[in-house]
Amino acid sequence: MPVAYRNQHYAELKKQHNKENLFEDPEFPATNSSLYYKKPPPGVVQWKRPGEICENPHLFVEGISSHDLNQGIVGNCWFVAACACLALKSNLWEKVIPDWKEQEWDSNYAGIFHFRFWIFGEWIDVVIDDRLPTINGQLIYCQSKQNNEFWSALLEKAYAKLFGCYESLAGGNTGDAVVDFSGAVVEAIDLQKEKYYADQNKQDKFFEDLLKAWNRGGIISSSIKPQGFRLESRTDNGLVRGHAYSVTDVKRVRLGHGLRAYFKNETIPLIRLRNPWGKTEWTGAWSDSSEEWSKIGETERGNLGITVADDGEFWMSFTDWCKNFSDADVCRLINTSLISIQKNWDEAVNFGKWTRNSDPLLNRCGGCVNHRQTFLQNPQYLFDVTKESDEVLISLQQKDRRIYRKEGQGDNLDIGFRVVKVEVNRKYRLHNMETLKSMHKSTFLPARMMFMRCELPKGRYVVIPTTFDAFMEGEFMLRLYTDVDSGCRELVKDKPQTKCWTPLFGYPQVVTHIYVDRAEIGQQGDQAEGINPYLIISCESQSVKSIAKKNSLTPEFQFSAIFFRKKVREPLTVQLWSDDLGSDKFLGQVTLSGRPDDVSHLQQLQLKNKGSKEADNMPGKIALRILTSDELTAL
């Protein structure tokens, strides 16, 4: 169930009001405090209800459309672009605008409306009255082309209420608003850095990815960095710098006329965009009246709905889009349903905080890896990849700070994360930078959400969400998607806990970390066929096993394990075996004392036999590193 914002319940409040007693929202009053905190609107503002602005007001006029919206005087093109995207997705806008038929003007009109937003992991129901700010009788913020249609103006007011006032909506990312409309994860793509326009193969793959995201209900927007130009200045081809555009279609369009076009099957990738201003369009190839449209048959043109009008919507080639735009936000609706013909993902959601504490074991805001002394004091989340290889999606979102703009503290933190491979039996928090193998890392940006897609081999991993600077406090949500359950959970304990029965079984005295880099198998000559080596590392009553490396005499394992040891004098063993269709073959072992004063650098050791022939050499060597400490939080 959605959470009622500020404990205002729409159904209860509506029962208390009617046409003679219209609702007035005490939580977002019709005063200057709801308009601005710094820059007042350019004129005398009067708050008017829709019925005072026009005759016969409606929530929707002839349905909902991306063409409905025009931006007002506040610089929130990012939000208006997101609304245009929302209008294209009925499965989304019907969640954001609930009970939309019941909310239409009728005999039950009481001046009260409600909208829903997905805020930091939960749906929030926001109640508003319909008093809207006007100057000279005209709406000054978001408005529909039809002067008696008010869904966009009311939706904008509800969003402004969430963040304190209308001015708080000035400047932002379209992807953030789309996430608030849907719960999607947003992937920010730097089009210029990736240089898709210069690499045709890379561009083709990117288009197919966007087309798939679009066809699966994804929402896409793009913008152009000002890069030294004045904000909202225009390029020579009609585009606007520092301005958000909503993508309203992604299509592979058939070239040619008549039956020949079908047999020839020549296509071109096109993308359609909309300027939230409702005017000012691209004037290059495939613009409204360009000669390129003569290459398209009439039926195809009809299907695309080409209109020659300055309505803010236009087509362009995908190549031109990659070349002229600098940034894109791709919002993916991740399918977690078990009953679906589309790929479904397993989702793990964790909420956490970066909190400051003078005790290093309790501090949870250690900053990025540049701060080596404090980096591992950050929150840590462990997960497993149980397939041979799996695509992993990671989304880190910080709590929106826009609401603090009135106090001058509304800037996002610079956030990011790092994924490290850890010991296959790791259960406790990481404490030693030297034992880490970093797999992937995000950039650090003052963005509300950071996203990564990566392919990871089978193993155990820890993702560490951080701020860029140390000792910066804030709240975050970490979402992780895998093909199968990853068992994602926060690591909260630093070492094994003392329990009432611990004295009966003994206390851990030391902690030992073993890392096996590689091996050389000598007795098989050059014939690696059928030699599938794997490791078994044993300590006291515990043992861990690596995956087998197929047909290799020089396997690279990069495999590690960690043990909290009670019997310090009992050695550890690392055994090398070959997986041979059920009759596994022993290839040798090394025995390690694991004392704190042992050699800790990478060393190459001769394989030995086991049992009564333990002193005998076996043909092969193994390269490993072993670290032992009597401080249980050292590793």
Q: Where does the pLDDT of residue 110 fall: very low under 50, low under 70, confident under 90, or very high at 90 and above?
A: very high
Residues 413/419, Cβ–Cβ less than 8 Å: no
C-alpha 485: how far from chain center: 18
For the chain, give every domain's residue range. Answer: 3-182, 185-332, 354-490, 503-629
pLDDT at position 118 is: 95
Least confident stretch, 97-106, 273-282, 367-376, 448-457: 273-282
Tell me what pLDDT residue 501 has. Answer: 56
Q: Name the 3-class secondary structure at 214.
A: helix
The answer on pLDDT for 281 being more than 90 is no
What is the Cα–Cα distance from 149 to 60, expressed in whole angstroms? 5
Mean pLDDT (the chain, rounded): 88
Which pLDDT value is given to residue 519?
A: 93
- Helix, strand, coil abundance in the chain, percent, nearest 5: 20, 35, 45
3-state secondary structure of 275: coil
337 has a pLDDT exceeding 70 = no
pLDDT for the residue numbered 445: 92
CA distance 496 to 507: 9
Burial (0-12, 13-18, 19+ Cβ within 10 Å), 111: buried
* Stretch 278-302: mean pLDDT: 81
Q: How big is the chain by its Cα radius of gyration, in Å?
A: 30
Total residue count of the chain as it appears in this document:
635
- Which whole number is the average pLDDT over 367-376? 95
pLDDT in tens, 195-222: 999 999 999 999 999 998 888 888 898 9
Torsion angles phi and psi, residue 244, rounded to 5: -90, 135
Fold for the domain defined by 503-629 = Immunoglobulin-like (2.60.40)
CATH number listed for the domain at residues 354-490:
2.60.120.380
CA 378 to the chain's CA centroid: 19
- Which residues, including other chains, have CB under 8 Å from residue 470's CB and lie 6 or more apart? 365, 366, 367, 371, 374
**Strand-strand pairing, 3-4 and 122-129:** parallel
pLDDT of 324 > 90? The answer is yes
- Does residue 494 surpass a pLDDT of 80? yes
Residue pair 466/378 in contact (Cβ under 8 Å)? The answer is yes
pLDDT digits (tens, 9 = 90+) for 6-49: 999 999 999 999 999 999 999 999 999 999 998 898 889 999 99
466-491 pLDDT, tens digit per residue, is 999 999 999 999 999 998 899 999 99
Region 392-397 average pLDDT? 95
Strand pairing report for 244-254 and 267-274: antiparallel
Give the pLDDT of residue 242.
Answer: 84
Selection from 124-133, 388-397, 410-419 with the highest mean pLDDT: 124-133
According to the model, what pLDDT value does residue 218 have?
86
The tokens 């462990």 sit on which residue?
Answer: 382
- Of 329, 217, 176, 196, the C-alpha closest to 269 is 196
Average pLDDT on 98-111 reads: 89
**Mean pLDDT along residues 152-164:** 94
Q: What distance in Å separates the CA atoms of residue 85 and residue 69, rounded to the nearest whole number?
A: 11
Which residues, listed in sequence order, are joined to residue 126 by a DSSP beta bridge? 115
Helix axes 77-87, 151-162, angle to 10 degrees: 130
DSSP label at 121?
T
Of the ranges 30-39, 80-89, 124-133, which is most confident?
A: 124-133
CB of 381 closer than 8 Å to CB of 463: yes
CA dist list (Å): 88 to 144, 274, 280: 15, 12, 21
- Which of 3.90.70.10, 3.30.2310.20, 3.40.50.620, 3.40.50.800 would CATH assign to domain 185-332? 3.90.70.10
Question: pLDDT category, 341, cuts 50, 70, 90?
Answer: low
The predicted structure's pLDDT at residue 523: 63
**Residue 273 pLDDT > 70, yes or no?**
yes
Q: Which residues are catalytic?
A: 77, 243, 275
| Torsion, CA 231, CA 236, CA 239, CA 240, rounded to 10 | 10
DSSP at 255: P
H-type alpha helices, 109-150? none
Lowest mean pLDDT segment, chosen from 105-119, 181-195, 279-293? 279-293
DSSP per residue over 165-180, as a string?
A: SGGGGSS--HHHHHHH
Q: Determine which of 66-75, 219-228, 496-505 has the lowest per-residue pLDDT on average.
A: 496-505
In the predicted structure, residue 257 carries a pLDDT above the cut 90: no
pLDDT single digits (tens) 407-465: 777 789 999 999 999 999 999 999 998 888 888 999 999 999 999 999 999 999 999 99
Q: Among 130-134, 262-266, 333-337, which is the least confidently predicted range?
A: 262-266
Whether 340 shows a pLDDT value over 70: the answer reads no
Percent of the chain with pLDDT over 90: 54
Which residues, 6 or more positions from 234, have their beta carbon under 8 angstroms from its beta carbon?
A: 240, 241, 280
Instruction: List, for residues 578-609, the tens digit of each pLDDT value.
Output: 987 768 889 999 999 999 888 888 999 999 99
First vs last Cα of the chain: how many Å apart?
44
Across residues 534-558, what is the average pLDDT? 92
